[in-house]
Structure 1
Amino acid sequence: MSLLSIRNLEKNKGNTILFSEFSLEVNKGDIVAIKCNNEVGRQIIDMLIGQVSLSNGEIIFKDESLNTNYKKLSRSIGIALLDESFYDRLNLDQYLKFFKRLYAVETDISSLLQQTGLIEKKKIQIKNLTFSEKKRLQVARVILPEPELIIFEEPNQNVDIESKIIIQQIVSNLSKQGKAILITTNYFENAILFTDIVYSLDKEGFKRIEVRDKDDVK
């Protein structure tokens, strides 16, 4: 049984088709990437969490309508958007402990910072981090409550090489743990760094992209 089922989903903006009807199944352990423009990617995410109405179709997570029950189901879903606001005056330890209390979990903060390559920045205020370091902190925040489904919007856009490697490794490990990963990205090259399950979505439709050996991609 799929963890996430997107069935006959489409979105119109006035008389304009933002994207054509598509269906997608995401199972536990899957890493699935949708190559689409940024507007479409954000619309899909907003539709998943009920921020934008569906023009047609349904979104099912664990046998329940996700878009109409997101508040109830949100504990099981982690979302990392391209742009995120932080509590800049907190240090990394304080920031993650805030979410640890919020979710009432027993996650080891030091272990989480170690995974994301931020342990040495533990007592530094967030405002003093680089963009790439903030992106890794975002990943730490998202995986802290151990969600079953993680949704990434452009997870490696504009980050340094170290952060790309760390984020890719974390995503791979999450998949091995049985977590489902859904990625939206405007760039095919970024998608295939994470997975060989890549789809394209535009006005012309939804289709699987054949991914050759990554060593062959220039």
Structure 2
Amino acid sequence: MSLRFEHVEKHHQNTVVIPSLSLTIPKGEVAALHTSIDAKAHLLQLLGKKDVSGSGDIYIEETLLHKTKEKYHPSLGISLLEEGCYERMTVKENLTFLKRLFQSTKTQKEAAVLMHLEEKLHTKIQQLSYSEKRRVLMTKLLFQDPAVIVLEEPDQNMDIESKRILRLALEEWKNQEKSILLLTSNMESAITLADQVYRLTNTGLHKVETEEPETEAETDVEEEPFRFSKIPTKVEDKMVLFDPPEIDYIESREGKSYVFIENESFPCAFTLNELENKLKSFGFFRCHRSYIVNLQKVREVITWTRNSYSLQLDDKKKSEIPLSKGKMEDLKEMLGLK
């Protein structure tokens, strides 16, 4: 089964929290939707049928989600970040409860092995680590065995072992041809866990372009010179390409450049001088020896003292970027101010 959003939109208190969203996650694919916490919360309410006030349609295969009679669609499994479990139960008791709830043919031992909980079967949930509790919660999906899986912030604050187990589970679900949607506000998680990554912003849905690293054989092949149109950044072993208008600002720290997009930073191989030259035509300004800012994202120029200035950005954190005295004069000239 596939999960499909068709022109799904949500307004809350005269604000668009979910702009028009059209997206299909086919069978056997893990897709990540990187978005704000508010948009993520409202999407989960729509998927959980706790809110029917949004416009547009959500399909599980060809069935409209809001037209199903069941409180929860049997083919849709949702794992929430703040989902609770019975703390006084042992792991085994919890697994037994879930097996009976979903009338599953899977055994408690099978679920424990898949989530690496065999040695914790007789331990009470309240005595587990945070990551172990998250793995117990994920067993719900093993017993439910839905065709479509939605995970909220799947690896947030997890230890390395639990992240590895999560990746193995995602691969297993892909092999079973399930459709998997990850909802996250962390771009690194989105890129490292998913096959396809999308960003949902106030301007709509944008696909994040990534490139796998070249193999040794490929590096020997002479290619045409790279034509600049996007800014390449690195997340683990993947190169992520961003359109210049997406970038808020760029900072240089200890000789390395970092691209900031919606309060997340991504390392970039270009120097600040190289980026300054490449981004001038896109409306970027070298406001300080360590900063380049997208002038389209600047909301206000703040004067602290006669020789001290900063630029406030139009983002949720109202980020402030230093503006040096000499650059203040350049900015005035650019803006046609005296």
Does TM, scored on the shorter chain, surpass 0.5? yes
Alignment match, 1:152: 151
Larger RCO, structures 1/2 (Cα 8 Å, 6+ apart): 1
CA distance in 2, matches of 1:68, 1:96: 31
Partner secondary structure for residue 78 of structure 1? strand
Percent sequence identity is: 30
Partner secondary structure for residue 206 of structure 2? strand
Q: TM-score, normalised by structure 1?
A: 0.94
CA deviation string 1:174-205 (max 9, x = no partner) = 01111110110001100112113000002111
CA distance in 1, matches of 2:158, 2:22: 31
| More helix as a share of residues | 1
Alignment match, 1:32: 31
- Going from structure 1 to structure 2, the CA distance change for 1:70 and 1:167 (only over 3 Å counts) comes to farther
CA distance in 2, matches of 1:150, 1:196: 15
CA distance in 2, matches of 1:48, 1:63: 15
Equivalent positions of 1:66-85 (< 5 A) are 66-69=65-68, 71=70, 74-85=73-84
1:18–1:40 CA contact under 8 A, matched in 2: yes
What is the alpha-carbon root mean square deviation over aligned residues?
Answer: 1.6
Q: Give the 4+ runs in structure 1 shifted more than 4 A.
A: none
Alignment partner of 1:177 is 2:199: no
Equivalent positions of 1:29-178 (< 5 A) are 29-69=28-68, 71=70, 74-178=73-177
Q: TM-score, normalised by structure 2?
A: 0.62
Deviation at 1:14, TM superposition (A): 2.2
CA distance in 2, matches of 1:81, 1:21: 23
1:150–1:180 CA contact under 8 A, matched in 2: yes
Deviation at 1:110, TM superposition (A): 0.7
List gaps (5 residues or longer) in structure 2: 213-235, 240-266, 268-338
List gaps (5 residues or longer) in structure 1: none
CA distance in 1, matches of 2:61, 2:159: 36
CA distance in 2, matches of 1:59, 1:134: 30
- Going from structure 1 to structure 2, the CA distance change for 1:70 and 1:215 (only over 3 Å counts) comes to farther
CA distance in 2, matches of 1:82, 1:70: 26
CA deviation string 1:29-74 (max 9, x = no partner) = 1111100012211211111121112432111113221134272663
Deviation at 1:165, TM superposition (A): 0.7
| Larger-Rg structure | 2
Would you say how many aligned residue pairs link Structure 1 and Structure 2? Answer: 217
1:8–1:23 CA contact under 8 A, matched in 2: yes
CA deviation string 1:90-128 (max 9, x = no partner) = 111111111111111111211111111111001111010
Deviation at 1:144, TM superposition (A): 1.4
